[in-house]
Amino acid sequence: MSGVLALLGGPRSAALHLGLIAVLAVLQFVLAEYHHIAMSRILVLACFAIGFNIAFGYTGLLSLGHALFFGAGMYGAGLAAQFLAVAGPGAFLIGLAAAIATTLIAGAIALRTAGVSFMIVTLMFAQAGYLTVYYFGAYTRGDEGFVVDATMRTLFGLALNDATVRYWIALALFAVCLVGALAVARSGLGRVLVAIRENEERARMLGYDVYRYKLTALVISGAMAGAAGAAYGLLFGYVGASFASIQYSILPLLWVLMGGAGVVLGPFLGTLAMFYLIDLTSGVTTAYLLVVGLALIALILFFPKGILGTLREKLGARGASWLP
Amino acid sequence: MDFGPFFLLAAMEGAVGAAVLAVTALGLSLVFGVMRVVNVAHGEFYMLGAVIAWWVTSLLGVHPALGFLAALIVSPLIVGAIAGAAERLVLTRIHYDPEATIVATIGMLYIIQQAVLMTYGPDARPVQPPFDFRIQLPWFGYSGYKLFVILAAALLMLAVWWGLTRTRVGLMMRATQFDRETARAFAIPVDTVYGGVFAVGAMLAALGAVLVTPIQQAHYLMGHDPLLLSFIVVIIGGLGSLRGTVLAAVIIGMSDGIISVFFSPTLAKIIATLAVAFVLVWRPQGLFGERPA
């Protein structure tokens, strides 16, 4: 029991994170239809953001190419379902494997650089991935995308186009990613990652193989992004090139910055807040990306630590015990 | 058309693209060289330059040549002012931290792009070329304006080179690029230089765009490709090396034009983006970089 508690970051943190999952499980019976669907989307996208946070928040690797991993998961799963007639669980695993393989290759090369070069290399890899989707337009149908056949969107006999099933699966995936991130953050691995973020040279001097740790962090990050992409494609039944575009590399960055980089709950809060912020303003203007731009600048100027990062700092030692 | 003339046409189209690209990328390279920051909003300053050019020419409603000349002066000034203001308001406050600057300029990208969408709209609009003049080659006729673009771009680059190497302001910029702290110790107003360089970088993008509007219409999403191509050029040419930037612009612009004509444009871009990634990984100083990073 104490092992599980330690994994979850102590009693307070365990209560907070498990409590959130419980609240989300109950919430679906209260939410109106529109918000019910929105919430399942947010939960899947939050997994993407949680993955991004492992690289950016904990390891200090600012990637501008996570759409590549999200897209690899989505296209891996979507194309498997569409052309190989592999149903739900198999397609998901193929997507996940595609994302892990992509991250491993792209990461192994990109991590030879650091700082601004790393950002541009990841950006370029993601751009090449995006263009590849167009290049194979005969299968992917480029920008237009394709609808995944409903008969392939099943999981152990459950139809994925049912809203309740979808919510439960999204929540299950979210729970796995959240607890996984918590476990990583609290583990020895997580502490080394933070040490690398804070001072890479010092970590190297202490004898850590920095490159290998960074690659490990990136692969965990890419796997979560890919899982989110695969789940998104299968749950909502649509696979399109826009999900591999640069915008989907920027969005997780925005979500994590808003919620709080390096806080396990940050990505979820950021995704939730940003989703409803855009939702509210899209009633006023169609130029919703304006909100994205304003939010990015406001955050970087006034709240570089995000909502939960600022809160944790204010709370001091107590904050650290609630919000690892 | 035979292969020879066809290739000549592709090469000429490539040269026009390369000329505009060189001017645009020079702006990005200057900002990176002096300030050591990557300006992701560079493509949007380009787009803004084109949109303002359309606005100036249609508002004046005079002879195309006069309108174009007015746009060539007014558009870079407005864009420079906007970029300078953005630099003062945002970049100074985050102290040019490289990562924070990228995030902030991504924010600027969306704000400028969407502000233009809300005011100018989603339509693509043309600007009249300042003169109609066709050069008749034995195989095909070619727009005289396109040749003027190449000439104008070459003159602009000479002007930048002259400004950087022969004037006092240029000396200040080079001193700041060489060693910021020492420059400050010699009473060079480094902050003002930063603001000025950021504005000049954006003005070069705007100039490239004004030159291109009579060939390619002004549209709120037109900044995307020049940004990526400028990135490619600046990195392959060596970050901060102006000579390398111009050289790489000619190579990338020409090959992009030629590969696009003979193969697939998508394939040309995939090759170029991957080339950049590998250059950064294995030769971070760029192909023509003068010193190792």
- What is the ipTM, given to two decimal places? 0.81
- Contacts of A154-162 with CB under 8 Å at 24 or more apart are A154/A87, A154/A88, A155/A87, A155/A88, A155/A89, A155/A92, A156/A88, A156/A89, A160/A88, A160/A234, A160/A235, A160/A237, A161/A237
User: Cβ B280–A117 below 8 Å, yes or no?
Assistant: yes
pLDDT in tens, B54-91: 999 988 878 888 889 999 999 999 999 999 999 999 98
Q: What is the DSSP letter of B218?
A: B
Nearest to A216 by CA among A256, A187, A176, A178: A187
User: Hey, which residues does A147 pair with through a beta bridge?
Assistant: A238
Residues in chain A with CB shorter than 8 Å from the CB of B93 are: 301
Q: Do B106 and A301 touch (CB under 8 A)?
A: no
pLDDT at B289: 59
Instruction: Count the neighbouring beta carbons within 10 Å of the beta carbon of residue A264.
Output: 32
Cβ contacts of A299 on chain B, cutoff 8 Å: 103
Model pLDDT, residue B21? 92
* B267, pLDDT greater than 90: no
Q: What whole-number distance in Å separates Cα of residue A160 and Cα of residue A81?
A: 13
| Torsion sign, CA atoms B53, B56, B61, B62 | negative
Out of B107, B231, B269, the one facing A293 most closely (by C-beta) is B107
Integer Cα distance of A56 and A64 in angstroms:
10
Token output for B68: 């174009």
- DSSP, residue by residue, A211-262: HHHHHHHHHHHHHHHHHHHHHHHHHH-EE-GGGGSTHHHHHHHHHHHHH-TT
Question: Is residue A260 assigned to a domain?
Answer: no
- Where does residue A135 rank: exposed (0-12), middle (13-18), buried (19+ CB within 10 A)? middle
**Mean pLDDT value of segment A230-251:** 88
Chain A interface includes B107 (CB < 8 A): yes
- Average pLDDT value for residue range B8-12: 84
The pLDDT of residue B292 is above 50: no
The answer, yes or no, to whether residue B283 has pLDDT greater than 80, is no
State the pLDDT at residue B240: 67
pLDDT over 70, % of chain B: 96
Q: Could you report the per-residue pLDDT of B102-138, keeping only the tens digit for each? A: 889 989 999 999 999 988 888 888 888 888 778 777 7
Q: Which of B102, B103, B277 sits opposite A121 (nearest CB)?
A: B277
* Mean predicted confidence (pLDDT) in A308-320: 79
What are the residue ranges spanned by the domains of chain B?
27-235
Nearest to B232 by CA among B17, B44, B25, B53: B25
C-alpha dihedral (B105, B107, B111, B113), degrees to nearest 10: 70
Contact of B274 with chain A, judged by CB distance below 8 Å, is answered with: yes
Would residue A97 count as lying in a domain?
Answer: yes
Task: Note the pLDDT tens digit of each residue in B131-179.
Answer: 877 877 777 778 888 889 999 999 999 999 999 888 888 888 888 888 8
Which one, of A311, A221, A298, A206, lies nearest residue A266 by Cα? A311
Q: Does residue A56 surpass a pLDDT of 60?
A: yes
Give the percent of chain A with pLDDT over 70.
98
Window B:233-272, CB contacts with A under 8 Å: 235, 264, 266-267, 269-270
Does the distance separating the beta carbons of A131 and B266 come in below 8 Å? yes
> A237, A44 in Cβ contact below 8 A?
no
Give the position of tokens 């193969």. B263
Question: CA B130 to CA B108: how far, in whole Å?
Answer: 32
**Shortest Cα distance, chain A CAs vs residue B64, angstroms:** 33
In chain B, % of residues over pLDDT 90: 30
Q: Residue A170 is part of which domain span? A: 2-252
CB contact under 8 A, B277 and A296: no
Residues belonging to chain A with any Cβ–Cβ distance to chain B shorter than 8 Å? 62, 64, 109-110, 112-113, 115-117, 119-121, 123-125, 127-128, 131-132, 134-135, 250, 253, 257, 285, 287, 289-290, 292-297, 299-301, 304
Fill in the DSSP letter of residue B224. Answer: H
**Who among B113, B228, B235 is closest to A289 (CB)?**
B113
Q: In this predicted model, what pLDDT tens digit does every residue of A94-139 receive, in sequence order? A: 999 999 999 999 998 888 887 777 888 898 889 889 988 888 877 8
Higher-confidence position of B108 and B8: B108
Q: Provide the pLDDT for residue A214.
A: 92
Domain for residue A280, yes or no?
A: no
Q: Which long-range contacts (CB under 8 A, 24 or more apart) does A20-27 make?
A: A20/A178, A20/A265, A20/A268, A21/A171, A21/A174, A21/A175, A21/A178, A24/A171, A24/A174, A25/A171
Reported as a pLDDT band with limits 50, 70 and 90, residue B52 is: very high
In the predicted model, is pLDDT for residue A1 greater than 60?
no
Contact residues on chain B for A131, CB-CB shorter than 8 A: 266, 269-270, 273
CA A264 to chain B, closest CA, distance in angstroms equals 21
Measured distance CA(B82)–CA(B106) in Å, rounded: 16
Greatest alpha-carbon span in chain A = 56
Confidence of residue B288 (pLDDT cuts 50, 70, 90): low
Q: What is the total count of domains within chain A?
A: 1
Contact B107 A297 (CB under 8 A): yes
Give pLDDT, residue B1: 64
Sign of the Cα pseudo-torsion (B143, B147, B150, B152, in order)? negative
Angle between helices B3-35 and B242-262 (to 10 degrees): 150
Which of the two residues, A310 and B193, has the higher pLDDT score? B193
Q: In the predicted model, what is the mean pLDDT of chain A?
A: 86
Are A254 and A95 a contacting pair, CB within 8 Å?
Answer: no
Minimal-distance CA residue of chain B relative to A135: B266
Confidence of residue A291 (pLDDT cuts 50, 70, 90): confident
Most B CBs within 10 Å, among A257, A300, A302, A305, to test the B interface: A300
Pair B200, B27: CB distance under 8 Å: yes
Looking at the complex, does the CB of residue B114 fall below 8 Å from at least one CB of chain A? yes
Q: Over 60: is that where the pLDDT of A36 sits?
A: yes
| A317 Rama class: left (phi>0) / alpha (psi -120 to 50) / beta | alpha
Cβ-defined contact of B118 to A285 (cutoff 8 Å): yes
> CA-to-CA distance for B69 and B79, rounded, in angstroms?
16
Interface of B with A in 33-62 (CB under 8 A): 38
Whether residue B293 is predicted with pLDDT greater than 50 in this model: the reply is: no
pLDDT value of position A289: 82
Residues A56-67: what's their mean pLDDT? 90
Residues A103, A109 contacting (CB under 8 angstroms) = no
